[in-house]
Amino acid sequence: MILAIPDVLDSAGVQAVRALIDAGTWTDGNATSGHQSALAKRNLQLPEDSAQARQAGAMILDALGRNPLFIAAALPRKIYPPLFNSYAGGQAFGTHVDNAIRLRAGSDFRVRSDLSATLFLEDADAYDGGELTVEGQFGVGAIKLPAGHMIVYPASSLHRVEPVTRGRRVASFFWIESMVRDDAARQTLFDLDASVQALAADRGHDDAQVIRLTGIYHNLLRRWADS
């Protein structure tokens, strides 16, 4: 599943996050890289243990908790605390696959990375390049979204960030451990939920077919979900 989720943050939310992170001290982005990623990664990153990263990350997590499209698509069990990166002056991140398990330094917190997410925090017309390119089942997609919008995609996908040739690309990125680890099963549940919601809007939630399909959704979720 590759899904764009609009307006995770509104303009005020983007400005509040940027005010926090822009005041931080940015360092070499390879601080959180695995071996493969370190060979391809050229960017700056806000240290994840900084006060600015923690505050801004909490704002994003709060926004995600209020976003029904994200919850329906990701079925999140755990979310790695959001990180922040910046690309400028030709910086890029070559083709790679995200680590299967993400460990938070200095703690026992870990996440199985079923999904990766990028939340864009800079206006798309303020920089050239910087597309997130994801290689999926049906080809290659280059993604560049407005500030406040987010893309979610399988962490198992080959992906890269194209060189930024003008301006500065700023984003938050993180990983999601879903209650349903299989991407095809998660896609089926998402499609079924969307159909149930559309049918309920037309017929009402007490319609017999809506109730029946809702039951099917929950029985499939019960079968596929990790407790």
Strand blocks (E) in the chain: 3-5, 27-28, 44-45, 76-79, 83-88, 93-96, 101-103, 110-112, 115-120, 128-129, 132-136, 139-143, 150-154, 158-161, 164-166, 168-178
Q: Is pLDDT of 201 > 90?
A: yes
162 and 194 inside one domain? no
27 and 12 inside one domain? yes
Range of the domain at 16: 3-178
169 is in an annotated binding site: yes
60 and 104 inside one domain? yes
Give the CATH number for residue 207: 4.10.860
Average pLDDT (194-198) is 97
CB 208 within 8 A of CB 176: no
The domain boundary, picked from 148, 163, 178, lies at 178
- What is the Rg, in whole angstroms, of the alpha carbon atoms belonging to the chain? 18
pLDDT score for 41: 86
Q: Is pLDDT of 217 > 70?
A: yes
Judged by phi (left if over 0) then psi (alpha if -120 to 50, else beta), residue 167 lies in: left
Helices and strands in the chain: count of H runs, count of E runs: 6, 16
CA distance 13 to 211: 37
Residue 33: band (very low, low, confident or very high) from pLDDT cuts 50, 70, 90? low
110 and 162 inside one domain? yes
143 and 188 inside one domain? no
Give the CATH number for residue 117: 2.60.120.620
64 and 49 inside one domain? yes
118 and 216 inside one domain? no
Per-residue pLDDT reduced to its tens digit, 35-67: 555 567 899 999 999 999 999 999 999 999 999
113 and 209 inside one domain? no
Per-residue pLDDT reduced to its tens digit, 66-85: 999 999 999 999 999 999 99
pLDDT score for 32: 56
pLDDT score for 140: 84
Burial 185-209 (b: 16+ CB within 10 A, else e): bbeebbebbeebeebbeeeeeeeee
126 and 189 inside one domain? no
Q: What is the mean pLDDT of the chain?
A: 94
90 and 55 inside one domain? yes
29 and 132 inside one domain? yes
159 is in an annotated binding site: yes
Per-residue pLDDT reduced to its tens digit, 114-172: 999 999 999 999 999 999 999 977 778 899 999 999 999 999 999 999 999 999 999 99
How many structural domains compose the chain?
A: 2
104 and 149 inside one domain? yes
205 is in an annotated binding site: no
